Amino acid sequence: MNIPKLKNTDKNNFFLMAGSCAIESRDLAFEIAEKIKGITDQFGIPYIFKGSYRKANRTKLDSFTGIGDIRALEILQEVGNHFDLPTVTDIHESIEAEMAAKYVDVLQIPAFLCRQTDLLAAAAKTGKAVNIKKGQFMAGVSMKFAVEKVLHEHPGATVFLTDRGNSFGYGDLVVDYRNIPEMQAHGVPVVMDCTHSLQRPNQGSGVTGGQPQLIETIAKAAIAVGAEGLFIETHPNPSVAKSDGANMLQLDKLEGLLEKLVKIRQAIV
Amino acid sequence: MNIPKLKNTDKNNFFLMAGSCAIESRDLAFEIAEKIKGITDQFGIPYIFKGSYRKANRTKLDSFTGIGDIRALEILQEVGNHFDLPTVTDIHESIEAEMAAKYVDVLQIPAFLCRQTDLLAAAAKTGKAVNIKKGQFMAGVSMKFAVEKVLHEHPGATVFLTDRGNSFGYGDLVVDYRNIPEMQAHGVPVVMDCTHSLQRPNQGSGVTGGQPQLIETIAKAAIAVGAEGLFIETHPNPSVAKSDGANMLQLDKLEGLLEKLVKIRQAIV
Amino acid sequence: MNIPKLKNTDKNNFFLMAGSCAIESRDLAFEIAEKIKGITDQFGIPYIFKGSYRKANRTKLDSFTGIGDIRALEILQEVGNHFDLPTVTDIHESIEAEMAAKYVDVLQIPAFLCRQTDLLAAAAKTGKAVNIKKGQFMAGVSMKFAVEKVLHEHPGATVFLTDRGNSFGYGDLVVDYRNIPEMQAHGVPVVMDCTHSLQRPNQGSGVTGGQPQLIETIAKAAIAVGAEGLFIETHPNPSVAKSDGANMLQLDKLEGLLEKLVKIRQAIV
Amino acid sequence: MNIPKLKNTDKNNFFLMAGSCAIESRDLAFEIAEKIKGITDQFGIPYIFKGSYRKANRTKLDSFTGIGDIRALEILQEVGNHFDLPTVTDIHESIEAEMAAKYVDVLQIPAFLCRQTDLLAAAAKTGKAVNIKKGQFMAGVSMKFAVEKVLHEHPGATVFLTDRGNSFGYGDLVVDYRNIPEMQAHGVPVVMDCTHSLQRPNQGSGVTGGQPQLIETIAKAAIAVGAEGLFIETHPNPSVAKSDGANMLQLDKLEGLLEKLVKIRQAIV
């Protein structure tokens, strides 16, 4: 992986993409980044700060969508500079790629959009690393073609694939761990998204549900089968978060979780 | 439904959106439109000519994506004018909405993109009718929010919802007919996509499969339970089609199929 | 189909298996049989009276399991004799086949048990017609082997296959109408179970839920695609039924439903 | 767990149920038992020898079903006595429980039959430990009722629950690791069946497929999330096995696999 400012890359550990779902404020972003940087340095975990500058596919129209694109991107950049951390954000249309690339180090392709050729190409052209989330309707084997779409525009690009579960009936997702080795066969690091994979979609209310008590189960299994990275959304107080509050990890539980996961990692390498 | 040039609207019949998957050439588009116009006038079926001007989410990078956006859109417009038929095409990013709206009468939102607020809003702003395909990961009840996103930008818009099946394991889709009454409860006409709902996704080869021998089964059930419209991709020779050849209906089978469906329609109204 | 006492077989109509879930009392059985016999004679529908003499796979231990095996079987026999109707009941272990066969005309194999070779063989050996429910985990194509297991023991047996939906996540079932032509290809009549296919399994409470408002949708689609039979559980007052109350059809809605279905049937033959 | 002859129970390790699918011959049973006993003693793993005395739900009629019930049960008993090991076999109808209980230490309820109250009760009445496989159509939370059915007949019984995956479309199963903590909440040890959960059901050929290369993935995830036991079918030469050859683990790969799993176990306790 060729990602600027990434630390602890010599520790043979898994890496972590983590932060709040959306960038809600500069203060919150700094609080989260500082806390996680401290924990990950302690455990020797390479860390990428995550924050969405806009939520483009909320179920309902009146859901929170962001504090303003440029403002949120500036906060991401400030966090990266202040803590000397790489940052990641997600983009939704081709036109956003170049703009977002000025502020962050990794561009993320949302799961619903993982087959949109133009979007993958636009992300690739920026020269940034690209994290593609596997669609809830996709098999791991089929993600090979998404990786190829990026590498075609940017040979040698750093690409990773993130699993966030598959549709299991209407109101549930299931994580199929067979997809980890199957996606690793495409020659890229594989990440487990431990929070979105616990979402409960298609709730009649228009507010997606979650099961945060199972984050540890999802994460332990991922590390044990060899996932190179974890993606975890976290918030000091999920119940007041402006999006995805139902499935984020409470920030003060992160240290205890990572401690357990590092032990499993050491048992398999 | 407020769609220009739509005929046979006084027949209390289902309507039909049909054409080849992609616009492959002017000659082919005219051949298909002429044939279907003749058949639908005979049966009193309101008909909308369908053609994609670009294929934006092909699995593989080297798949056919179109003959050029403007050229394909011009052909759609010519077909509409020549045969006095409304036309529909799909768009993939917000920026395409205004352009496509100059040439066609109905804008279609692809299934993977049915939750992208910006795209729905951009389509709505054009003032055209909007056909939203239900995502393979969506319940019919949740499509209420997609309809609301369009109506928010364009109160009074003509919107319809099209079912094209739900993920059923990795390599298969299943049509859940409960979604027809559930989507009708959102106050819009509901369409069954009889060809894409028979796709076989996630084939290792990167070429989506199909089961055209079951199109009649899918269509009969839809009409019987009260679907207001059908969506059928058809081609004089599916085996040489440049996309979706595996699941399109052979054009010369359309008349026999519609004859059976009209009888079922008459039995339920 | 070779089933004693079956009427209206010359009407080219679909046939009906219907009754309450469990045999709750002689009075209730007679009330239901009389009502349905009247309706089906009016519409020219061959009718088989259904009732379970025992419920062997209730989720919870304290659920109602029956009024006593022999008492319930005697009521089934009385109904058959009194109204000159064939009857059907389900069996759960091989040892029950011979006993049940003394009282009823059709033996039914429950969906969970459709792969139990001994049970299929025991049913076949009685010489009675056998109705095999397709497991919630089975594809229509695989039911070929279940049919063969019966025909091996009893060449020339009357066998039919009944679809009651497939697992769709934990708490839901989905009916895949492709299974109707696929099971018909095994050379047997295919029945749609319109009530159990709307069950909501795996409810935390241990009481299976239902969606009776969708029975008409399930039934219309089945008839339109050519199902030879329908299976409907019905009760004068489902809310007080001793089992499956959540998904049975209210008895006084049966006539209106069948009237609509007969019209669809006439449109397809 | 109260199981006679079970060794290594003081090691805080996971336990193992393993053997060939069916009892094919005395020689094969002894070969497998000796090999696995050696490996498990080396790693401090409590070991239960597994063998089916009859295969009662083969897809096709002409598949191998066993060498004779009593002969196979005698071999199981001999293995238990000779190697001082507990043994487990599966039963399919109530009448088999008492017979099988004379020869083995643990009775296993097949997944398709996990809701059959009579069968669970018959197993419980023997006083033996009972291993209930979770149906492919069951949520972990619902298995609470199966446990209760056993405990009702035999208060204090040793019961464990084994996951073998859930239906995921027709031709595939998926293991949902959330079921492990959810079943542990019922107060019983939870086992992961690492071989049947990789079956490929509903193959048109009538022969269930498998993916043995993924056994390690399934097992590692199970141990990491805290499963108390593993179930693995293994054979010196799976390609000549008389049943389930497609998904059994090659016997000489067992030692390497267990070595890795023991390390993960040590990391989590």
Instruction: Average the pLDDT over each of B17-26, B56-65, C130-139, D250-259 and give the range with the smallest value.
Output: B56-65
The CA-based angle B216-B217-B218, given to 5 degrees, is: 90
What is the model's pLDDT at position D246? Answer: 84
Residue B50: CB partners within 8 Å, gap ≥ 6? B17, B18, B19, B20, B87, B88, B89, B108, B231, B233
pLDDT (tens, 9 = 90+) of chain A, 269 residues, equals 789 999 999 999 999 999 999 999 999 999 999 999 999 999 999 999 999 999 877 777 778 888 999 999 999 999 999 999 999 999 999 999 999 999 999 999 999 999 999 999 999 999 999 999 999 999 999 999 999 999 999 999 999 999 999 999 999 999 999 999 999 999 999 999 999 999 999 887 777 777 889 999 999 999 999 999 999 999 999 999 888 888 899 999 999 999 999 999 999 99
Among C174, C162, C167, C84, smallest CA distance to C130 is for C162
Smallest CA–CA distance from C167 into chain D, residue? D137
What is the model's pLDDT at position C2? Answer: 87
Q: Do D168 and D197 contact (CB within 8 A), yes or no?
A: no
Task: Sort strands C87-90 and C47-50 into parallel, antiparallel or unpaired.
Answer: parallel
> For residues A210 and A248, what is the distance between their CA atoms, to the nearest angstrom?
8
**Residue C59 and residue D142: Cβ atoms within 8 Å?**
yes
**Residue D166 and residue C171: Cβ atoms within 8 Å?**
no
Report, as an integer, the average pLDDT of C205-232. 93
Tell me phi and psi for residue C83, to 5 degrees: -100, 0
**Residue C268 and residue B268: Cβ atoms within 8 Å?**
no
Contact status of A155 with chain B (Cβ, < 8 Å)? no
pLDDT over 90 for what percent of chain D? 86
- Residue A123's H or E segment, with its range, is helix A117-125
Q: Do B31 and B23 contact (CB within 8 A), yes or no?
A: no
Report, as an integer, the average pLDDT of B110-119. 96
Given pLDDT bands bounded at 50, 70 and 90, which one contains residue B27? very high
**Residue B224 and residue C264: Cβ atoms within 8 Å?**
yes
Tokens matching residue A176 = 């199929």
Side-chain half-sphere exposure of A3, counting CA atoms within 13 A:
29
**Residue A95 and residue B93: Cβ atoms within 8 Å?**
yes
Q: CA separation (Å) from C72 to C31, C55, C132? A: 15, 11, 21
Does residue B246 register a pLDDT over 90? no
Smallest CA–CA distance from C176 into chain B, residue? B174
> For residues C194 and C215, what is the distance between their CA atoms, to the nearest angstrom?
6
Contact status of C201 with chain A (Cβ, < 8 Å)? no
> For residues A59 and B144, what is the distance between their CA atoms, to the nearest angstrom?
9
Does residue D138 register a pLDDT over 80? yes
Tokens matching residue B114 = 């049915």
Q: Do A29 and A51 contact (CB within 8 A), yes or no?
A: yes
Tokens matching residue A30 = 């700094």
Instruction: Average the pLDDT over each of C7-21, C75-89, C204-218 and give the range with the smallest value.
Output: C204-218
**Residue A56 and residue B116: Cβ atoms within 8 Å?**
yes
Mutate to test the interface with C, among B225, B261, B269 (most CBs of C within 10 A): B225
**Residue C170 and residue D94: Cβ atoms within 8 Å?**
no
Contact status of B11 with chain A (Cβ, < 8 Å)? no
Q: Which residues of A touch D178 (CB under 8 A)?
A: 211, 214, 217-218
Tell me phi and psi for residue A190, to 5 degrees: -115, 135
**Residue D170 and residue B169: Cβ atoms within 8 Å?**
yes
Q: Which residues of B touch A113 (CB under 8 A)?
A: 112-113, 116
Contact status of D29 with chain A (Cβ, < 8 Å)? no
Does residue C78 register a pLDDT over 80? yes
Contact status of A11 with chain B (Cβ, < 8 Å)? no
- Residue C141 has its nearest CB partner, among D57, D118, D204, at D204
Given pLDDT bands bounded at 50, 70 and 90, which one contains residue D64? confident
Contact status of A102 with chain D (Cβ, < 8 Å)? no
Neighbours of C240 (CB within 10 A): 9
Q: What is the sign, positive or negative, of the torsion defined by CA atoms of D6, D9, D11, D15? A: positive
Contact status of C178 with chain B (Cβ, < 8 Å)? yes
Does residue D243 register a pLDDT over 90? no
Does residue B245 register a pLDDT over 90? no
- Residue C60 has its nearest CB partner, among D136, D141, D145, at D145
Q: Which residue has the higher pLDDT, B58 or D87?
A: D87
The CATH architecture assigned to C15-268 reads: Alpha-Beta Barrel (3.20)
Report, as an integer, the average pLDDT of D153-182. 97
Contact status of C167 with chain D (Cβ, < 8 Å)? yes
Encode chain C in three state secondary structure: CCCCCCCCCCCCCCEEEEECCECCCHHHHHHHHHHHHHHHHHHCCCEEEECECCCCCCCCCCCCCCCCHHHHHHHHHHHHHHHCCCEEEECCCHHHHHHHHCCCCEEEECHHHCCCHHHHHHHHHCCCEEEEECCCCCCHHHHHHHHHHHHHHCCCCCEEEEECCEECCCCCEECCCCHHHHHHCCCCCEEEECCHHHCECCCCCCCCECCHHHHHHHHHHHHHCCCCEEEEEEECCHHHCCCCCCCCEEHHHHHHHHHHHHHHHHHHC
Q: Is A207 exposed, middle or buried (0-12, 13-18, 19+ CB in 10 A)?
A: middle
What is the model's pLDDT at position C57? Answer: 78
Q: Which residues of C touch B266 (CB under 8 A)?
A: 267
Chains that touch C (3 or more CB pairs under 8 A): A, B, D
Mean pLDDT taken over chain B? 95
ipTM of the complex: 0.96
Report, as an integer, the average pLDDT of D184-212. 91
Contact status of C172 with chain A (Cβ, < 8 Å)? yes
* Amino acid, res. B264: I
Residue A209: CB partners within 8 Å, gap ≥ 6? A199, A200, A203, A246, A247
The CA-based angle A42-A45-A47, given to 5 degrees, is: 110
- Residue B116 has its nearest CB partner, among A57, A152, A171, at A57
**Residue D170 and residue B170: Cβ atoms within 8 Å?**
no
Does residue C207 register a pLDDT over 80? no
> Euclidean distance between the first and final Cα of chain A, in Å?
18
- Residue B139 has its nearest CB partner, among A119, A141, A170, at A170
Tell me chain D's radius of gyration from C-alpha atoms. 17
Report, as an integer, the average pLDDT of B174-186. 98
Contact status of A170 with chain C (Cβ, < 8 Å)? yes
In CATH, which of 3.90.1170.30, 1.20.120.1200, 3.20.20.70, 3.30.420.40 is domain B15-211+218-237? 3.20.20.70
Cβ contacts below 8 Å, chain B against chain C, sum to 75
**Residue A174 and residue D181: Cβ atoms within 8 Å?**
no
Query: CA of C16 to nearest chain B CA: how many angstroms apart?
Result: 19
Smallest CA–CA distance from C226 into chain B, residue? B217
Q: What is the sign, positive or negative, of the torsion defined by CA atoms of A44, A48, A50, A56? A: negative
What is the model's pLDDT at position D179? Answer: 98
Smallest CA–CA distance from C217 into chain B, residue? B225
Q: Looking up tokens 């497609």, which residue turns up? A: D246
Q: Which residues of C touch A169 (CB under 8 A)?
A: 168-172
> For residues D137 and D132, what is the distance between their CA atoms, to the nearest angstrom?
14
Query: CA of B138 to nearest chain C CA: how many angstroms apart?
Result: 13
Chain A residues 36-65 within an 8 A CB cutoff of chain C: none
Neighbours of C263 (CB within 10 A): 15
Mutate to test the interface with A, among D141, D167, D174 (most CBs of A within 10 A): D174
Tell me chain C's radius of gyration from C-alpha atoms. 17
What is the model's pLDDT at position D184? Answer: 98
Chains that touch A (3 or more CB pairs under 8 A): B, C, D
What is the model's pLDDT at position C58? Answer: 76
Smallest CA–CA distance from D172 into chain B, residue? B169
Contact status of C217 with chain B (Cβ, < 8 Å)? yes
What is the model's pLDDT at position D253? Answer: 97
**Residue D221 and residue A218: Cβ atoms within 8 Å?**
no
Q: CA separation (Å) from D243 to A102, C18, D55, D201? A: 59, 40, 9, 14
Tell me phi and psi for residue B209, to 5 degrees: -90, -175
Query: CA of B181 to nearest chain D CA: how many angstroms apart?
Result: 24
Among A67, A60, A120, smallest CA distance to A90 is for A120
Contact status of C218 with chain B (Cβ, < 8 Å)? yes
Q: Which residues of C touch D124 (CB under 8 A)?
A: none
Q: Do D107 and D124 contact (CB within 8 A), yes or no?
A: no
What is the model's pLDDT at position C269? Answer: 94
What is the model's pLDDT at position A65? Answer: 82
Mutate to test the interface with C, among D53, D54, D59 (most CBs of C within 10 A): D59
> For residues C80 and B46, what is the distance between their CA atoms, to the nearest angstrom?
51
Smallest CA–CA distance from D152 into chain C, residue? C61
Does residue D60 register a pLDDT over 90? no
* Amino acid, res. D96: E
Domain residue limits, chain B: 15-211+218-237
Contact status of B220 with chain C (Cβ, < 8 Å)? yes
Tokens matching residue D8 = 């290594």
Smallest CA–CA distance from B173 into chain C, residue? C176
Task: Sort strands B47-50 and B15-19 into parallel, antiparallel or unpaired.
Answer: parallel
Among D35, D36, D38, D46, smallest CA distance to D5 is for D46
Does residue B242 register a pLDDT over 90? no
Contact status of B168 with chain D (Cβ, < 8 Å)? yes
Contact status of A168 with chain C (Cβ, < 8 Å)? yes
Smallest CA–CA distance from B198 into chain C, residue? C178
What is the model's pLDDT at position D42? Answer: 98
Smallest CA–CA distance from D150 into chain C, residue? C61
